[in-house]
Amino acid sequence: MSRSHCPPARPARANAPTAGRHRFHQPADWPATLASALADVVAAELGDGGGVAAPLVVGIHVDAQGIELFFHPERLPLGDALLGLRAPSHWDAIGVAAPATMHREHSSERGVAALVVPRVGVSACHLGGLGATDVTLAASVEGRLDDLCHRCLGLSTGPPEFGPHRVLVALWLDAMATDQAGGLRSFADLAARHPLASRIPGPIGTAADLVAGLAQLGPELVSWQWLDEVAQSRAAELGLADVEPGWFDTGSLARWIADETPRPTELLDSLHGHLDGACRSELARALAVLPGWRDDNPW
**Dihedral sign from CA coordinates of 137, 143, 147, 148:** negative
**Whether residue 16 has pLDDT greater than 60:** no
Q: How confident is the model at residue 121 (pLDDT cuts 50, 70, 90)?
A: confident
Q: Which residue has the higher pLDDT, 296 or 242?
A: 242
Domain segments of the chain as ranges:
21-152, 164-289
Region of poorest pLDDT, from 12-26, 152-166, 205-219: 12-26
DSSP secondary structure of 50-99 = TS----EEEEEEEETTEEEEEE-SS---HHHHHTT----TT--EEEEEEE
Tell me what the pLDDT averaged over the chain comes to.
81
3-state secondary structure of 133: strand
Q: Which residue has the higher pLDDT, 229 or 14?
A: 229
Tens digit of pLDDT for each residue in 189-198?
999 999 999 9
**Cβ proximity of 157 and 249 under 8 Å:** yes
Residues 97, 78: Cα–Cα separation, whole Å? 9
Among candidate residues 49, 55, 117, the one with its CA nearest the CA of residue 80: 55
Q: Which residue has the higher pLDDT, 48 or 144?
A: 144
Q: What phi and psi, each to the nearest 5 degrees, are found at residue 179?
A: -110, 30
